[in-house]
Amino acid sequence: MSKQGYAGPLEQIDECCWRIPVEYKTGMRVEGRIFADQRLLDQIRSDQAPEQVANVAFLPGIQMASLAMPDIHWGYGFCIGGVSATDPERGGVISPGGVGYDINCGVRLVRTNLRREDVQPRIEALMNVLYRRIPAGVGQGGPFLFGGCELEQLLAEGSRYLATRGWATDDDLDRTEAGGCLPDARPDCVSPRAMQRGGDQCGTLGSGNHFLELQVVEEIVDSEAARAMGLELGQLCVMIHSGSRGLGYQVCDDALTAMRKTPAKYGIDLPDRQLVCAPVESPEGQAYLGAMRAAANYAWANRQLLMWQTREVFEEFFGRSWSSLDMQLVYDVAHNIAKMEEHEVEGRRRRLCVHRKGATRALPPGHADLPEAYRAVGQPVLIPGDMGRASWLLAGQPGSMIRSFGSSCHGAGRVMSRTAAVQNAQGRRIDRELAQQGVVAKCRNWKGLAEEQPAAYKDVSLVVDVVHRAGLARKVARLRPIGVVKG
């Protein structure tokens, strides 16, 4: 597919939502809807991501609309920022392209009782220790090794298995989406190659846009929600962004190969072969779902072990236990996942297969799946920005259940390809530029920082503002980075 700009229709529904009409392409079963405002439209039209929104509308069993969040940009099959829900009772399908290669790439936020002034004089030393101790980079292994039955149990139980080994607490599980474990995972559907790749990568950051950041709470918008989440101005937090590493990549690659002829088998016509899919209830669909759930569980365990290692670093560096530092998990959310969920469509509760690719869950106050601590304020929604500006913490709102199958955006969204970003950074020292902004950046190589420079991303404040005004999630707090470890 060409990545040239989108020239098709975008009809305004309201100040924060735009429609691609179902008449745009013969074969669309529902319309496309993109959450955005006028400030973001030029960037959204700059590649073929809106065309991908229209293409997803071809999927059998798709409900309501093919959706995209304001951080939308071009991806494999589905756009990044894409959300769709299919109904298995109406021929609904599961598509690996609607989850992505990095299955359950996600973010967790850890609070501390440290203040910025406690850390700032020693920030360089602390970042050096984190850089040495947190495994990061392409193919990088770590200190936790899982093989054979242990790895199978990890894939089946996710973070719950780590609790049996003393590497997760009950509170950690309670504040992780799905308790850190999708049921009905099938390790037997994960290939030997994927298992091999995952043996030593649980508890590692990886490369690309993955990171560990030290952040300071710089602004509080909703004081009630911030109190419920244990946040206050000037407080130091840690944000961790990673996924299922080589294991998840291999699961996706294996599924795309296995499903190559599946659409023809079931008489499914697709406008883009990257949308390869299978009916949810078919053997092919169930095999992918089982393997995808296993990879998702691996990713939750990965972030849990990254947090555990970070707690150990802080204990040694500050000479206090992590519990006395109040290093409690605020929340962990998945970004690339497909889950069976109940939603109301046309006045009826239905069990749907919800794809979120570069999108995150945003449950409103009172939802039964929320931990008791957040039942009154809504689910914490973590939106990382770029490493030079800010990240945001939001809380899910009722509008998400009405408009987006309980979903929100997942980040700022790229405006520059990695190749373009590297070209843009020629002759520059991104680490020095960040240092001038008060951010200590540690990375394995110059290229990694160049690819992830702030200019490569949209301004996250614009993206979050759309989500807030659209009623999907409301702003709670803004967190500014002061230190970052990149792969």
Q: What is the pLDDT of residue 485?
A: 95
Task: With CA atoms as reference, report the closest residue to 317 among 102, 125, 47.
Answer: 125
Torsion, CA 428, CA 410, CA 393, CA 403, rounded to 10: 150
User: pLDDT per residue over 187-204, tens digit each?
Assistant: 999 999 999 999 999 999
Contact predicate 479/215, CB 8 Å:
yes
Average pLDDT on 73-96 reads 97
> Taking 80 as the threshold, does the pLDDT of residue 3 lie above it?
no
Please tell me which residue in 210, 335, 367, 410 is annotated as part of the active site: 410
Contact predicate 285/89, CB 8 Å:
no
Contact predicate 171/329, CB 8 Å:
yes
User: pLDDT per residue over 235-273, tens digit each?
Assistant: 999 999 999 999 999 999 999 999 999 999 999 999 999
Task: With CA atoms as reference, report the closest residue to 206 among 162, 248, 265.
Answer: 248
Contact predicate 457/410, CB 8 Å:
no
Give the model's confidence band at 285: pLDDT under 50 very low, under 70 low, under 90 confident, else very high.
very high
Q: What percent of the chain has pLDDT over 90?
A: 88
User: pLDDT per residue over 102-114, tens digit each?
Assistant: 999 999 999 999 9
In sequence order, the 6+-apart residues with CB closer than 8 A to the CB of 282 are 262, 266
Give the model's confidence band at 1: pLDDT under 50 very low, under 70 low, under 90 confident, else very high.
very low
Give the model's confidence band at 2: pLDDT under 50 very low, under 70 low, under 90 confident, else very high.
very low
Characterise 179 by phi-psi region: left (phi > 0), alpha (psi -120 to 50), beta (else).
left
Determine the Cα–Cα distance for residues 50 and 45; give it in Å rounded to an integer.
Answer: 7
Q: What is the pLDDT of residue 213?
A: 97
The lowest-confidence range among 35-49, 116-130, 278-292, 440-454 is 440-454
- In this structure, the number of other CB atoms found within 10 A of the CB of residue 398 comes to 16
User: pLDDT per residue over 321-369, tens digit each?
Assistant: 999 999 999 999 999 999 999 999 999 999 999 999 999 999 999 999 9
Q: In a 3-state reduction of DSSP, which class is residue 16?
A: coil
> Taking 90 as the threshold, does the pLDDT of residue 418 lie above it?
no
Average pLDDT on 162-173 reads 98
Burial 462-481 (b: 16+ CB within 10 A, else e): bbbbbbbbbbbbbbbbbbbb
> Residue written as tokens 């009154």?
376
Average pLDDT, the chain: 95
Average pLDDT on 404-411 reads 97
Domains of the chain: 11-95+104-486 (3.90.1860.10)
Determine the Cα–Cα distance for residues 164 and 160; give it in Å rounded to an integer.
Answer: 7
Average pLDDT on 125-134 reads 96
Average pLDDT on 39-68 reads 97
Tell me whether residue 410 is one of the annotated catalytic residues. Answer: yes
Q: What is the pLDDT of residue 446?
A: 79
> Taking 60 as the threshold, does the pLDDT of residue 416 lie above it?
yes
Surface-to-core class of residue 123, CB atoms within 10 Å of its CB (0-12 exposed, 13-18 middle, 19+ buried) = middle
- 359 φ, ψ to 5°? -150, 155
> Taking 80 as the threshold, does the pLDDT of residue 487 lie above it?
no
Would the pTM count as exceeding 0.85? Answer: yes
> Residue written as tokens 């609790």?
163
> Residue written as tokens 């290229």?
447
> Taking 50 as the threshold, does the pLDDT of residue 139 lie above it?
yes
Burial 176-210 (b: 16+ CB within 10 A, else e): bbbbbbbeebbbebbbeebbebbbbbbbbbbbbbb
